[in-house]
Amino acid sequence: MTKKLSFSYSKMGMYKECPQKYKFRYVHMLPEQPKYYFAFGSALHEVMEYVYNPSNSAFPTLEQALSFFKTHWDSTSFDQKGYASMEKELLGYEEGCRIIRAYYGKHGDSLAHPLSVEMKSTLEMDGLSLISILDRIDYLGDGRVKILDYKTGKTVQREPDQLMMYQKVAESSPAILKLVQATDPKVKEIKVEKMAFYHLPSLQELSFERSSDKEMYEFWQKVLGVADDIRAGKFAPAPEENKCRWCDYRNICPVFTGKEYDGPSGWGAKIPSSVSPVPAEAKPVAVAAKTEDEILSEKIDRLGEIGQEEKKLRSEITELMKKLGYKRQFAAKFQAELTQRKKRTFTDKEKTVSLLRELNLLNKTLVPTQSTVEALLTDPAVSQQAKTQILALIKEENIDEIQITEAQ
């Protein structure tokens, strides 16, 4: 007996995006890198589940919802979430809090328990083990339900395949029928009357009509066709510039390596030049060839990321060395030395400019900025008395710095 294929809307979407990517993810079971937008969306989905949980007799307050969100958010580090820095993670957290406050401001006085939240359904049909998670199901009476899916991206648009998958699952699932019958025992079948995407950042709900029988038949044939291709091992790459640029599997993809990946144990034989895994119609898409403008943009982004990471590491190393009382610390390859520099701040800009005018030094600064005025303090042509007067307008503080050099 053929084993049922585990399938879902997201799996179908990945296969349609690139069969080779599907193979890496679901055949070789290689996880993707964390994505901050997935972590952000997951955290807000958790909050919505907490708010609307049917097993709770009372709805949580705004303060309780915010506390729940913080606990969930703090359970993983910024890099585990996929954020480039703690600063960016903080911006994500603040945006999540803003959304929750705005949601309560709009819906806090009209919260009502749904039929279910985050219901995971496993439906066995047509050789598939169809897995779906329905964010929220509202019961409308007489066997009619509304399926609502929360969205947290920048924009929302109609996604026909996802909507039809929800309709197929909801109207075919014995588990959902049983759930409805617990409320309305006379119901014999389920009908999805409404489907909606709720965009949490904008608090806007987009409603969609149910699909016709003809549309559902054509959709299901497409699903079965994708499943048949997966069973047949059809995993040819589908390269496109924008898709491949951000793909986590780029470094092991045959489009770029010229070899089939056989799993962690090793690589397959080199692909002959006459037998390319890339479909002929895809060859004009020269994924590996980048314009100089694109290369420059990537290098700028990379340098920015390195700079953010360096700033974070310097701060953490400084704090640890101060805590341990170290002035110097040797590592395997490098050494760190804790030094101090003086930071000067002019407390009153107007008084500084007036003093420079009085001392006939304003013309030496061109434009009296922090650095040009500071330069007067080391100018041999400026009298010591003038320097003393300038220093009187300066606030000085010691700033800890880390110097990293190769270990001797």
Question: What's residue 265's pLDDT?
Answer: 55
DSSP 2-25: PPPEEE-HHHHHHHHH-HHHHIII
> Region 22-27: what's the mean pLDDT?
94
Question: What's residue 199's pLDDT?
Answer: 94
pLDDT in tens, 173-219: 999 999 999 999 999 999 999 999 999 999 999 999 889 999 999 99
Question: What's residue 366's pLDDT?
Answer: 52
pLDDT exceeds 80 at position 331: no
pLDDT in tens, 236-270: 999 988 888 889 998 899 988 888 887 665 444 44
pLDDT in tens, 167-177: 999 999 999 99
Amino acid at 307: G
> Region 366-378: what's the mean pLDDT?
73
Q: How far apart are CA 350 and CA 372, in angstroms?
A: 15
Mean pLDDT of the chain: 85
Task: Report pTM.
Answer: 0.64
pLDDT exceeds 90 at position 311: no
Instruction: Name the β-bridge partners of 137.
Output: 116, 147
The structural domains of the chain, with segments of one domain joined by +, span 33-113, 116-225, 241-282, 325-406
pLDDT exceeds 60 at position 276: no
Q: Which residue has the tokens 């705004």?
A: 62
Percent of the chain with pLDDT over 90: 52
Question: What's residue 226's pLDDT?
Answer: 95
Q: How far apart are CA 10 and CA 21, in angstroms?
A: 13
Residue 347's pLDDT band, with cuts at 50, 70 and 90, is confident
User: What are the CB-based long-range contacts (under 8 Å, 24+) for 240-245?
Assistant: 240/282, 240/285, 240/287, 241/285, 241/287, 243/17, 243/18, 244/287, 245/287
Q: Count CA atoms within 13 Å of residue 120 on its CB side.
A: 2
> Region 46-53: what's the mean pLDDT?
96
